[in-house]
């Protein structure tokens, strides 16, 4: 019955998104040449605007929160959506921190001179236009827009429909910042429609206007983006991270690092999901690890050897090795040395983050070389898988692909490069 109406809506979205792509591409040309000082000043002015507009932002957010509650959304969802004065202040501070990061654009990555006198430079340039698709977390509007801007890119932001009022209020402050320094307003665009077709247009690349898509959200969002995107995607689908306790591990360190790797924040992508223990480790290692985890309130699902260590250990099934719990649950397996650990991780890992605990430098070296993950740690917690902990400042996410951006995606990872060649009239012989 309402078919004609839907067609109209789709047509309208099509036009809106096409225009957004064109404006983003035009803005990107200006941003690529924008001085560092202008980009930083825009971010500072946006931070000021956010602080000044806190009442408007909170009232927009209250409308989103009321609608989410009415729709019966779970508490965790509402909490992620909810803003208060402190959270707005933190968002403003985040913008200022991004302003303080070094500007990657123009950095000379390499330079050399050829025998014919041609001087080559490999120089960082912005990627161009970044599409960010995210769920109902209002802060992403500011964080993602600011990171893209700092790296000289135009951003097209498509937030969850349930945070649309909050996102609009925050976006207005970013625009104030851009206007204050006369940078194009199209540098950071918020998709104005909640029509889901808009996401499809972005995934198709908006007629070549979008250079890369960054999804921010749960597994189902990332899955859809990775499956449907016709442009490159910086993302990770799952972080099934492993900690391997080797026969040569210091026991106290193994216990402390494992507890932190699982329990500090069990819900982040860098949390350890599977603990691998060397069958060649001293007899007291396995029970000590099991007891520490159980006593800390973690459910342990183990193979037969782990179950034998404590009656509270539940049996692990094949599915457990392939599960990202994001919860206070860990799977645990006794394997045959570092080679067994590498084989298990190769089979079940998601190329995100994996760690070895050992005092044996040679064993560590082999593990670090053989494990094909974005981040491989020796004697440290997998919870360090985070751009801020790397010293990148803010990050837009963690990528597990092998192309371009791997690991934390910060300002530098939002750039490309080009070659500048300086000559004195050289022509190519032959």
Q: How far is the CB of 229 from a second copy (least distance, A)?
A: 10
Which residue's entry shows tokens 């402190």? 86
User: Which residue from 258, 241, 269 is spatially nearest to 381, judged by alpha carbons?
Assistant: 258
Which residues of the shown chain bind a second copy in the complex (CB under 8 A)? 29, 32-33, 112, 114, 118, 120, 125, 127-128, 211-212, 232, 250, 253, 256-257, 259-261, 264, 346, 368-370, 372-381, 383-384, 386, 389-391, 402-404, 406-407, 416-428, 430
How far is Cα 28 from Cα 125, in angstroms, rounded to an integer?
11
Continuous H helices in 33-137: 36-52, 54-70, 75-81, 85-100
Neighbours of 14 (CB within 10 A): 15
Q: Are 108 and 123 in contact (CB under 8 A)?
A: yes
203-207-210-213 Cα dihedral, nearest 10 degrees: 10
Q: Cβ distance 415 to 105 under 8 Å?
A: yes
Q: How far is CA 232 from CA 105, 205, 353, 402, 426, in A?
A: 21, 9, 22, 12, 37
Q: How far is the CB of 80 from a second copy (least distance, A)?
A: 19
- Residue closer to a second copy (CB basis): 46 or 240: 240
How is residue 313 written in tokens? 């250990």
Give the nearer residue to a second copy in terms of CB position, either 131 or 160: 131
> Minimum distance from CB of 74 to a second copy (Å)?
25
Closer CB to a second copy, residue 38 or residue 370? 370
Least separation in angstroms between CB 175 and a second copy: 25
Other CB atoms within 10 A of residue 289 CB: 27
Structure tokens that stand for 416 in this block = 């490309």
CB atoms within 10 A of CB 246: 23
As measured in angstroms, the least distance from the Cβ of 308 to a second copy is 27
**What is the b/e burial string over 365-379, where b = at least 16 CB atoms within 10 angstroms of the residue's CB?**
ebbeeebebbbbbee
Min dist. Cβ of residue 260 to a second copy (A):
4
- Compute the least distance from the CB of residue 396 to a second copy, in Å: 15
Kindly tell me which of 129 and 167 has the beta carbon lying closer to a second copy. Answer: 129
Q: What minimum distance in Å lies between the beta carbon of 120 and a second copy?
A: 6
Specify the residue, 1 or 86, whose C-beta has the smaller distance to a second copy.
86
- 72 or 391: whose CB is closer to a second copy? 391
Query: Which two three-digit tokens encode residue 167?
Result: 């996102």
Phi, psi of 71 (to 5 degrees): -80, 0
């Amino acid at each position: 019955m309402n078919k004609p109406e839907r067609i109209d809506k789709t047509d309208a979205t099509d036009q809106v998104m096409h225009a957004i792509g064109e404006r983003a591409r035009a803005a990107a040309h200006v941003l690529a040449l924008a001085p560092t000082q202008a980009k930083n000043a825009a971010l500072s002015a946006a931070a000021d605007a956010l602080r000044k507009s806190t009442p408007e932002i909170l009232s927009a957010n209250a409308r989103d929160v009321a609608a989410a509650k009415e729709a019966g959304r779970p508490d965790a969802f509402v909490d992620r959506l909810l803003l208060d004065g402190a959270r707005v202040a933190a968002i403003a501070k985040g913008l200022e921190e991004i302003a303080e990061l070094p500007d990657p654009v123009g950095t000379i990555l390499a330079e050399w001179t050829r025998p014919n006198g041609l001087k080559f430079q490999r120089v960082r340039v912005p990627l161009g236009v970044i599409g960010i698709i995210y769920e109902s977390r209002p802060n992403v509007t500011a964080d993602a827009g600011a990171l893209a801007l700092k790296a000289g890119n135009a951003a097209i932001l498509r937030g969850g429909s349930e945070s649309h009022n909050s996102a609009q209020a925050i976006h207005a402050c970013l625009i104030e910042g851009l206007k204050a320094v006369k940078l194009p307003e199209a540098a950071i665009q918020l998709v104005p429609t909640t029509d889901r077709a808009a996401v499809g247009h972005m995934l198709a690349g908006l007629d070549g206007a979008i250079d890369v898509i960054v999804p921010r959200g749960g597994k189902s969002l990332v899955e859809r983006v990775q499956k449907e995107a016709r442009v490159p995607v910086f993302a990770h689908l799952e972080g099934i991270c492993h900690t391997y306790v080797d026969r040569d591990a210091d026991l106290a360190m193994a216990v402390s690092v494992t507890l932190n790797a699982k329990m500090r924040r069990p819900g982040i992508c860098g949390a350890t999901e599977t603990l691998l223990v060397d069958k060649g480790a001293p007899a007291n290692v396995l029970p000590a690890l099991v007891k520490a985890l159980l006593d800390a309130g973690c459910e342990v699902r183990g193979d037969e050897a782990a179950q034998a260590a404590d009656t509270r250990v539940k049996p692990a099934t094949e599915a457990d090795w392939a599960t990202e719990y994001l919860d206070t649950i860990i799977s645990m397996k006794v394997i045959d040395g570092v080679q067994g650990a590498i084989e298990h991780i190769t089979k079940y890992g998601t190329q995100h983050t994996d760690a070895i605990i050992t005092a044996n430098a040679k064993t560590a070296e082999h593990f670090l070389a053989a494990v094909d993950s974005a981040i491989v740690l020796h004697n440290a917690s997998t919870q360090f898988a985070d751009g801020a902990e790397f010293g990148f400042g803010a990050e837009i996410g963690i990528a597990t692909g092998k192309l371009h951006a791997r690991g934390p995606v910060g300002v530098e990872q939002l750039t490309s490069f080009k070659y500048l060649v300086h000559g004195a009239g050289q022509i190519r012989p032959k």
